[in-house]
Chains A and B, each alone.
Chain A
Amino acid sequence: MSSVFLDAKNIKVQLDHSKTLTFPDVTIHHGDAVLLLGRSGSGKTTLLSVLAGLLRPSVGSMTIDGQSLYAMSSAARDHVRGQNFGFVFQTLHLLPSLTLAQNIGLAADMAQVTPEAGRLDYLLETLGLKDKAHRKPDALSQGEQQRAAIARAVLLRPKIIIADEPTSALDDDNAQAVMKLLKDQAKDTGAALLIATHDDRIRPHFKTIINLENLMRDKVSEEVA
């Protein structure tokens, strides 16, 4: 079994004076595929924020490759996040004033890391976006924008791809296509995949499922890919 990449234990987040969310422990190994399942308001995005170093938990420990994430300075956490995490959101958040290529390159710019030579072109080619590279997001279809968002997430070969509700707004065919794309890219880059969703349609893609409804960790017997 591969080594542990991300380990979160006893995480509690106090939302206000009366409400505290208690999360199950999350351990993700390099190359794992984990589904974080729960309906809207169950705390999926809050947990993702804690795991990505964006929200300091009230209680609990959180390590990335053995290093305590919240013991780091804010700047160091930003750096770790930029280099190790790739994000895909339900709303794609491509900046409208930038071209597709610039939007994808934004991941490297913000993390202040130079992507490996030819990586951007490779992704544009692989994801069928090469001839759209200089177009603005408005001029692209939803599917093309989705692929661009995934390309941005994997540009720097992150150690984990985190996707928040990537398929919720899509029909069945597109939902499956996006899942395939995410899994392919995770496999291609050797990244772990963590998806938070309430979309039951993608459950079959995972053998490790963290169900926030019951605040317990389910493990299905086999992966259905």
Chain B
Amino acid sequence: MNALTLAIASIRSRAMHATLCMAAVAAGIALLCAVFLFSESVSSGFARNAKGIDIIVGTKGSPLQLVLSSVYHADVPAGNIDEHDLEHLKHMPQIRSAIPLALGDNYKGFRMVGTTPDYLDLYKATFAKGKVFAAPFETVAGADTGLSVGDKIAVTHGFSADGDDVHDDHLYTITGVLNPTGTVLDKLLTSRVESVQQLHAGHEHHHDHDEEDEDYEEDEVDHEHEADRHEESHEHDEHHHDENGSAFTHQITAVILKVRSPVDLMNLPRKINESSELMAAVPSYEMARFTKSLGIGRQLIVVLATGFVVLSALMLWATLSSGLALRRYDLAVLRVLGASPRRLAATVIAEALLISGCGALIGVVLGHGIAYMAVSSIEGLRGLVLPSVLLMPRMMDIGFILLVLIAGLGAAMVPSFNAARTDIAKLLARGRT
């Protein structure tokens, strides 16, 4: 019977104390692990989705809103810009490439993005089936959309899945389905910019009450009602529509830019912001600022969780000490039977390591589960973070377990020292108390 077996026997004899200690350790580590996993996954999700995007250009407003709406597709855009701006940007010497984005519709919550095939290349997308869009109203579906090649879909105006303003006069045809990329692309539908523009131009014509539209046979009252409803929807989406339908055919929402050098990355946004009606934002800067502001909450949770771990180490110390007080006569008997002081100390240390190690292991598993559930339940994070990745073991887990083992070892130091220097003669002389 070695120190480990004796430690297990000791734990079993005081199962309630040991369980409470383990629970405290597990709670602290679960919180720490979940916070770190969540934060790391969101950060890496932000980075992964913005990879290859140096600058995003859109209409003037909030740079963070521009980044969230046009890079991460997690917010609504503030408005549109003119397609001529795209041509202007393309001809700037600092710019290596410019990819247009035209937003405004969704299919069951999956956003339709009018763009070019370069957008797919940005995420290194490959086709599971089919081919890239070529003609207007051909579309490529992301891996999570559940669509198949040949499907015909009618998109809904705006970004809300439950919107009732369906563009059923023009159906999109799925020409290709992408393999999963682990990016927001998995939840997007992509088509040519002209598809989105044409659809919205038509949409604006409805707003202008185009009486000559043969398919539109509702009476005047219904027209007014419909128009009002559309306006409300537009306001809700903060989606700017030009009053002139034909002008809308030359609008896009944003442009993704890749610059030629780091110096351009520093200077170009300022230049664009100062010299035009456009706004340029650098996703990496904006997200760094965003995560920094979120960091205060994260730090608070980390402090709380660290407090839990320290508290559990103190609990462990108290448990080991009280356990030692209860069984000091038993330890004396072990010494009488020939156990060395070092062996008694090893038994106490093994007990501490077992309790803290099991607690840490449970905590890490719980932490992964909590992070998984948190990410799965927050709709805005879908596409940004891959929940299944949160269930995979990380190097960080070993760090947490080691941290707790060190804390457990620290908690065991004094009790193990006391066990080793048990005054056997005095204890035996006094008898069991």
A215 CA to B422 CA in the complex, in Å? 29
Interface residue? B329 (CB, 8 A): yes
Chain B: minimal CB distance from A167 (Å): 15
Q: Are B9 and A54 in contact (CB under 8 A)?
A: no
A78 CA to B335 CA in the complex, in Å? 8
Given contacts A46-B429, A102-B1, contact A79 B424 (CB under 8 A): no
Q: Are A90 and B431 in contact (CB under 8 A)?
A: yes
Chain B: minimal CB distance from A46 (Å): 6
Across-interface contacts of B2 in A (CB, < 8 A): 109
Please tell me which one of the listed residues A83, A91, A106 contacts residue B431 in the complex, with CB atoms under 8 A apart. A91
A45 CA to B13 CA in the complex, in Å? 29
**A56: nearest chain-B partner, CB-CB:** B425
Q: Are B13 and A96 in contact (CB under 8 A)?
A: yes
A95 CA to B9 CA in the complex, in Å? 9
Across-interface contacts of B329 in A (CB, < 8 A): 91, 93
**B2: nearest chain-A partner, CB-CB:** A109
8 Å CB interface, A57-82 against B: 74-75, 78-79, 81-82
Interface residue? B340 (CB, 8 A): yes
A107 CA to B334 CA in the complex, in Å? 8
**B429: nearest chain-A partner, CB-CB:** A45
Residues of A at under 8 Å CB distance from B? Answer: 45-46, 48-50, 52, 54-55, 74-75, 78-79, 81-83, 85, 87, 89-91, 93, 95-98, 102, 105-107, 109-112, 152, 164
A95 CA to B327 CA in the complex, in Å? 9
Q: Are A78 and B431 in contact (CB under 8 A)?
A: no
Q: Are B428 and A89 in contact (CB under 8 A)?
A: yes
Interface residue? B93 (CB, 8 A): no
Please tell me which one of the listed residues A50, A87, A91 contacts residue B336 in the complex, with CB atoms under 8 A apart. A87
**Interface size classification for chain B:** 20 to 34
Q: Are B12 and A97 in contact (CB under 8 A)?
A: yes
Chain A: minimal CB distance from B21 (Å): 17
Chain A: minimal CB distance from B424 (Å): 5
Interface residue? B69 (CB, 8 A): no
8 Å CB interface, B335-364 against A: 335-341, 343
Q: Are A82 and B337 in contact (CB under 8 A)?
A: yes
Q: Are B429 and A106 in contact (CB under 8 A)?
A: no
Q: Are B425 and A46 in contact (CB under 8 A)?
A: yes
Chain B: minimal CB distance from A15 (Å): 10
**B341: nearest chain-A partner, CB-CB:** A74
Across-interface contacts of A50 in B (CB, < 8 A): 425
Interface residue? B333 (CB, 8 A): yes
Across-interface contacts of A112 in B (CB, < 8 A): 338
Q: Are A49 and B428 in contact (CB under 8 A)?
A: yes
Q: Are B338 and A82 in contact (CB under 8 A)?
A: yes
**A156: nearest chain-B partner, CB-CB:** B338
Across-interface contacts of A111 in B (CB, < 8 A): 337-338
Across-interface contacts of A52 in B (CB, < 8 A): 336
Please tell me which one of the listed residues B1, B335, B432 contacts residue A109 in the complex, with CB atoms under 8 A apart. B1
Q: Are A110 and B334 in contact (CB under 8 A)?
A: yes
**A80: nearest chain-B partner, CB-CB:** B338
Q: Are B431 and A110 in contact (CB under 8 A)?
A: no
**B432: nearest chain-A partner, CB-CB:** A91
Across-interface contacts of A93 in B (CB, < 8 A): 329-330, 333, 432
**B334: nearest chain-A partner, CB-CB:** A110
Q: Are A54 and B428 in contact (CB under 8 A)?
A: yes
Please tell me which one of the listed residues A48, A49, A90, A110 contacts residue B339 in the complex, with CB atoms under 8 A apart. A110
**A79: nearest chain-B partner, CB-CB:** B338
Q: Are A97 and B335 in contact (CB under 8 A)?
A: no
Q: Are A97 and B428 in contact (CB under 8 A)?
A: no
A15 CA to B10 CA in the complex, in Å? 33
Q: Are B333 and A78 in contact (CB under 8 A)?
A: no
Given contacts A46-B429, A78-B339, A164-B428, contact A97 B334 (CB under 8 A): no
Chain B: minimal CB distance from A109 (Å): 4
Q: Are B424 and A54 in contact (CB under 8 A)?
A: yes
Q: Are B429 and A83 in contact (CB under 8 A)?
A: no
Q: Are A97 and B10 in contact (CB under 8 A)?
A: yes
A-B CB proximity, top 6 nearest: A82-B338, A49-B425, A55-B425, A111-B338, A97-B13, A97-B9
Q: Are B13 and A89 in contact (CB under 8 A)?
A: no
New contact pairs (19) apart from A96-B13, A110-B338, CB-CB < 8 Å: A45-B429, A46-B429, A52-B336, A54-B428, A74-B340, A79-B338, A82-B339, A85-B336, A87-B336, A89-B333, A93-B329, A97-B9, A97-B10, A98-B1, A102-B9, A109-B1, A110-B334, A110-B337, A110-B343
**B336: nearest chain-A partner, CB-CB:** A87
27 residue pairs bridging A and B, Cβ less than 8 Å apart: A46-B429, A48-B428, A49-B424, A49-B428, A49-B429, A50-B425, A52-B336, A54-B335, A54-B424, A54-B425, A82-B337, A82-B338, A83-B338, A89-B333, A91-B431, A91-B432, A95-B9, A95-B13, A96-B13, A98-B1, A105-B1, A106-B334, A107-B338, A109-B1, A110-B339, A110-B343, A112-B338
